Amino acid sequence: MEKLISVREAVDIVLKETKILGTEKVKIINSLGRIIAQDIVSPFDMPPFRRSAMDGYAIKFDDLSFTKIFEIKDEIKAGEVKDIKYEKGKCVLIMTGAKVPEDFDTVVKFEDTEEIFENGKRKIRILKEIKRFGNIAERGEDFKKGDVLIKKGGVIDSGYMAIIAYCGIDEVSVYKRPKVGIMATGNEIKKIGEKLKEGEIYDCNSYSIYGLVLKYGGEPEILGIAKDDKKSLKNLIMKGFKKRKDILVLSGGVSEGKYDFVVDVFNEIGIEMKFWKVAIKPGKPTFFGKKGNCLIFGLPGYPVSAYINFENLIRPAILKMQGITTFERFKVSGILAEDIENKGDRDEFLRVILKVENNENLIIPYKEQKSGIFTSITYTNALLFLKKGEKIKKGKKVIVEIYK
């Protein structure tokens, strides 16, 4: 009986053999989507001073006990600092973001006042009830000096970019992106643009893998298509090694057919096999090995199998290389829309549609689950793990993993 390992065992082996890559400095303008390799600690309070949160008039709140009319004493623009002394019954015209002078503790919005003239002097009348300390952002209200604002290992998004800029940091340390070489095999596989003959198809695996590598932060390169002969395979694989890739991904030719030479070629060029064949559907004939620091994956030729086992096995490796320590996909519970059963001898990942109906998550298995039906990837958004022999009735609550 052939030796198969579970998908969980396969993931553990891949992660054990995967090393975190080094770090590099990048400008924050180029940091979107990168994995940060340092904590971002605030060098100062933010705001760094007490500032107005609105265009309006700075007053001392206690003055409202005897008057609703204030004489305009001075004005302050954003970025301007003035030493304005408080005088009873007087206010200061102030702009959003400007530093509020000492002894003034409340800002009244323009729209809550009307401007009047009395005895040749500009004044305001307050028209609404005002709260003490209203419309003032206190020093350190957002964050304080020494606060850890971003922890090492986070994905830099637009919000993180803003926080880094707020701190006056121009360059940030990030983990290097893994370089991934992508190869396809098969006499029937043709490049896009070539004319197809009877029995030939275009290479789609290279492009789905290319997109997945980009999605998870790697730097992909399509290296080409090898024919179903050892020399062609060996030349293409050696091309990947010469390019000093961190990961090589090959699709097709990893089973045990007459012209499935991939595993034999891997052995001949000294790739150390870690496993070959996983007890999962789709994607049983999947190879993982290593040569030096390069990880090598051989995925099945069927597009769905290649896609799912990339998600299960290669995605964690790409993430770990970038310093990420959590590899689980986001999980959601929902109600199963129809009966399902795994009649096979392996665990299975069903492609399902997660949708909301009547304020409830509904899980709808895709109509076709064959490994060659790529629309089962295109038109679904979640995976439902089903153990071998497992049956689940319609209406039961299940947990699915979001993968798109």
Which CATH number does the domain 7-22+177-321 belong to among 3.40.50.1000, 3.40.980.10, 3.40.1280.10, 3.40.718.10? Answer: 3.40.980.10
What pLDDT was estimated at residue 5? 94
Q: Comparing 8 with 264, which gets the higher pLDDT?
A: 8
What pLDDT was estimated at residue 256? 56
Same CATH fold assignment for domains 23-46+142-175 and 331-402: no
CA distances from 89 to 64, 68, 97, 125, 330 (A): 8, 9, 23, 11, 58
Q: How far apart are CA 103 and CA 92, in angstroms?
A: 12
Q: How crowded is the C-beta side of 56, counted as CA atoms within 13 Å?
A: 25
In the 8-state DSSP scheme, what is residue 314?
Answer: I
Q: What is the mean pLDDT of residues 275-295?
A: 93
Q: Is the pLDDT of residue 158 over 80?
A: yes
Residue 322, Cβ density class (10 Å: 0-12 exposed, 13-18 middle, ≥19 buried): buried
51-137 topology per CATH: Molybdopterin biosynthesis moeA protein; domain 3 (2.170.190)
Residue 1's pLDDT band (boundaries 50, 70, 90)? very low
What pLDDT was estimated at residue 267? 87
Percent of the chain with pLDDT over 70: 98
Candidates 385, 307, 403, 313; CA nearest to 348 is 385
In this structure, what is the dihedral angle of CA atoms 258, 260, 262, 264, given to the nearest 10 degrees? Answer: -20
Q: What is the mean pLDDT of residues 158-170?
A: 96
Q: Is the pLDDT of residue 35 over 90?
A: yes
Q: What is the mean pLDDT of residues 159-169?
A: 96
CA distances from 43 to 82, 128, 164, 166, 319 (A): 25, 39, 11, 10, 30
Q: Is the pLDDT of residue 18 over 70?
A: yes
Residues whose CB falls within 8 Å of the CB of residue 162, separated by 6 or more in sequence, listed in order: none
What pLDDT was estimated at residue 261? 72
Q: How crowded is the C-beta side of 305, counted as CA atoms within 13 Å?
A: 26
Residue 383's pLDDT band (boundaries 50, 70, 90)? very high
Q: What is the CB neighbour count within 10 angstroms for residue 72?
A: 15
Q: Is the pLDDT of residue 279 over 60?
A: yes
Q: Comparing 232 with 39, which gets the higher pLDDT?
A: 39
Tell me the three state secondary structure of residue 27: strand
Q: What is the mean pLDDT of residues 181-196?
A: 93
Give 295-324 pLDDT, tens digit per residue: 999 999 999 999 999 999 999 999 999 999
What pLDDT was estimated at residue 2? 58
Number of H helices, E strands in the chain: 8, 28
What pLDDT was estimated at residue 259? 44
What pLDDT was estimated at residue 119? 86
Q: What is the mean pLDDT of residues 95-105?
A: 96
What pLDDT was estimated at residue 255? 62
In the 8-state DSSP scheme, what is residue 155?
Answer: B
Q: How far apart are CA 31 and CA 36, in angstroms?
A: 9
**Region of residue 388 (left: phi > 0; alpha: psi -120 to 50; beta: else):** beta
331-402 topology per CATH: Beta-clip (2.40.340)
Q: What is the mean pLDDT of residues 355-365?
A: 96
CB burial of 193-232 (b: ≥16 within 10 Å; e: otherwise) equals eeeeeeeeeebbbbbbbbebbeebbbebebbbbbbbeeeb
Positive/negative CA dihedral, 141, 54, 165, 34: positive
For domain 23-46+142-175, the CATH architecture is Alpha-Beta Complex (3.90)
Q: Is the pLDDT of residue 125 over 50?
A: yes
Least confident residue range of 39-43, 184-188, 351-355: 184-188
Q: How far apart are CA 293 and CA 246, in angstroms?
A: 7
Give me the residue spans of the domains in the chain: 7-22+177-321, 23-46+142-175, 51-137, 331-402
